[in-house]
Amino acid sequence: MHQAESLALLRRVDQRVRLQLSPLAAAIDQQGYYPEEILRGLGEDGAYAALLPTEAGDGPGLVAAMAAIAEVGAVCGSTAFLAWCQSASVWLLRHAAPRAELRSLMTELAAGRRLGGPGLSNAIKHLAGLEPLRLHAEPCPSGYRISGDLPWVSNIGGGHVFAAAAAASDGGKLVFVADCDAPGVRLCDGPPTAGMAGTRTLSVRLDKVLVPAERVAAEPADFAAFIRRVRPGFVLAQAAAGLGIVQGCLDDIQEANLRDGEQNRWLDHSYQDLAAELADLWREAKTLAPQAEAGQVQPLSVLRLRAAVGELCLRAAMSAQLHAGAAGFLLSHSAQRRLREASFIAIVTPTLKQLRREIDLAEQAQPA
Ligand SMILES: Cc1cc2nc3c(=O)[nH]c(=O)nc-3n(C[C@H](O)[C@H](O)[C@H](O)COP(=O)(O)OP(=O)(O)OC[C@H]3O[C@@H](n4cnc5c(N)ncnc54)[C@H](O)[C@@H]3O)c2cc1C
């Protein structure tokens, strides 16, 4: 049953990507166009709802959600990252405290009627021992008052929501979901970035923002366990954006080989090599995703896969640029754009440096 549902979902996404997204990819990259209608359309297609739990447990699930993100990523890495932001928000609420307000928000996000981003890099780095939490929570009679700032949160704006973590004055830590329009929230543009300009990545400043108890996704007693529950699916879905970018690089290489296949034989990382690596990583991703959904995945395996995706992205994008030659050096060429998209996959949390550090620590902690 869910096989047919997944195929139908991917057909809808494929059509939207080819007809609607493909003509916009350059504007998203170079003019910072935020593809809101496509994000909402992907919601109508069921790309985010694939992550919703079903009574019988037979929904399309994380693998289908990842395949949808990857289809988007093959055409536009920025939109794939935005689709990840939206999917990650749904995934987070799926694992949140069972509150009617959060359930209803999850349904709205899954349908693409509301949009939102997870501002959780800080929390994920915090739990890896890399930085303190940047937001502080003061308990108040109806919930918490939150203050502080997050330098980067994508997929936000008027009417959107964001999730983040904060440290309470008594030492407890919590995860909450706030409205971007709530009193005390300020969204600010940062300096221009080298790419991903269409991802509506803003800094968020909070000044005693009231977060009612119904918007607390994880209470202090559940904080660490919540991040542990959520993180594998988060990281796998993010890896899917990278796998999509690699597919885009393969498409560029194939096109370049039609023109200059003879000379391109002298390059490293051929189409066949990269395609084989991509297939291996997909096989692993499809093994790990159902385990992550069941809460039984080995975190180390997820970290290794995510690091391998970042590394493959960098190799594939550089190879696509070299295969495309001078044409690929034009700012308007997709191979040029994918170089920046691939770099982003390696520098977004969990970054390649954080992954390698965590993998090393986990391997050292394993019994010989
Ligand atoms: C285009 C883009 C989109 C992103 N989208 C999201 C998102 O949706 N959600 C999310 O949680 N994170 C997002 N991030 C943040 C990203 O995941 C990393 O956490 C961030 O880039 C820091 O990377 P790093 O770990 O290499 O830290 P470093 O670059 O080594 O920085 C160290 C620390 O310095 C601080 N810092 C870094 N940049 C700034 C800045 N501009 N202003 C103030 N302090 C700063 C941060 O605390 C950071 O952890 C985004 C980043 C970029 C570039």
Give the chain's domains with CATH numbers: 2-115 (1.10.540.10), 117-221 (2.40.110.10), 223-365 (1.20.140.10)
CB of 128 sitting under 6 A from ligand 1: no
119 CA: nearest ligand 1 atom: 11
Write out pLDDT tens, residues 185-197: 999 998 899 999 9
Q: Is the C-beta atom of 153 inside 6 A of ligand 1?
A: yes
Is the per-residue pLDDT at 3 higher than 90?
Answer: no
Average pLDDT for residues 351-362, to the nearest whole number? 97
Q: Tell me the one-letter amino acid at 260.
A: D
Instruction: Tell me the average pLDDT of the chain.
Output: 96
Confidence of residue 170 (pLDDT cuts 50, 70, 90): confident
Q: Whose CA is nearest to atom 7 of ligand 1?
A: 153
Give counts: helices (H), strands (E), the chain.
12, 8
> Is residue 78 within 6 Å of ligand 1 at its C-beta?
no
Judged against a pLDDT cut of 90, whether residue 361 lies above it is answered with: yes
Does residue 73 carry a pLDDT above 60? yes
pLDDT bucket at 1, cuts 50 / 70 / 90: low
Ligand 1, from 120, 189, 196, 348: best to mutate by most atoms within 8 Å of Cβ?
348
The pLDDT assigned to 2 comes to 77
Q: What's the pLDDT tens digit per position in 270-304?
A: 999 999 999 999 999 999 999 999 999 999 999 99
Is the Cβ–Cβ distance between 286 and 305 less than 8 Å? no
Task: Kindly list the distances between the CA atom of residue 152 and the CA atoms of 9, 121, 130, 193, 350, in Å, as whole numbers in the listed order.
Answer: 31, 9, 17, 11, 14
3-state secondary structure of 126: helix
- The total number of residues shown for the chain amounts to 368
11 pLDDT more than 70? yes
Please provide residue 117's backbone torsions phi and psi, each rounded to the nearest 5 degrees.
-135, 150
Would you state the pLDDT for residue 45? 98
Average pLDDT over residues 43-68: 90
The pLDDT of residue 57 is 66
Report the pLDDT averaged over residues 59-71.
95
Rounded mean pLDDT of 15-27? Answer: 98
Backbone Cα Rg of the chain: 20
Look at residue 324 and tell me whether its pLDDT is greater than 60: yes
Q: How confident is the model at residue 208 (pLDDT cuts 50, 70, 90)?
A: very high
Nearest CA to ligand 1 atom 40: 151
119 CB under 6 A from ligand 1?
Answer: yes
Mean pLDDT on 313-336: 96
pLDDT at 169: 87
- Look up residue 154 and give its DSSP letter: -
From CA 124, how far away is CA 130, in angstroms rounded?
9
Instruction: Work out the average pLDDT over 222-246.
Output: 96
What is the rounded CA–CA span in Å between residue 178 and residue 161?
Answer: 6
Band (pLDDT 50/70/90 cuts) for residue 137 is: very high
Q: What is the pLDDT of residue 56?
A: 65
Confidence of residue 325 (pLDDT cuts 50, 70, 90): very high
pLDDT of residue 366: 83
Residue 133 makes CB contacts below 8 A (sequence gap 6+) with 122, 123, 126, 148, 165, 166, 167, 173
pLDDT beyond 70 at 128 = yes
Taking only the tens place, the pLDDT of each residue in 110-127 is 999 999 999 999 999 999
pTM of the prediction?
Answer: 0.96
| DSSP 3-state percent helix, strand, coil across the chain (nearest 5) | 60, 15, 25
User: Whose alpha carbon is nearest atom 15 of ligand 1?
Assistant: 152
User: Which residue, judged by its Cα, is nearest atom 38 of ligand 1?
Assistant: 151
Sorted by sequence, the CB contacts under 8 Å of residue 213 that are 6+ apart come out as: 142, 143
Tell whether ligand 1 has an atom less than 6 A from the beta carbon of residue 151: yes
Determine whether the shortest distance from the Cβ of 86 to ligand 1 is under 6 A. no
The answer, yes or no, to whether any atom of ligand 1 lies below 6 A from the CB of 190, is yes
Give the 3-state secondary structure of residue 259. Answer: helix
Question: Which pLDDT band holds residue 53 (cuts at 50, 70, 90)?
Answer: confident
pLDDT tens digits for 151-165? 999 999 999 999 999
* pLDDT over 70 at 181, yes or no: yes
Distance, in Å, from the CA atom of 288 to the CA atom of 317, rounded to the nearest integer, reads: 25
Residue closest by Cα to atom 43 of ligand 1: 151
- Determine the residue of 87, 161, 349, 353 to mutate for testing ligand 1's pocket, defined as the one with the most ligand atoms within 8 A of the Cβ atom: 349
Quickly list DSSP for 196-213. Answer: -GGG--EEEEEEEEEEEG
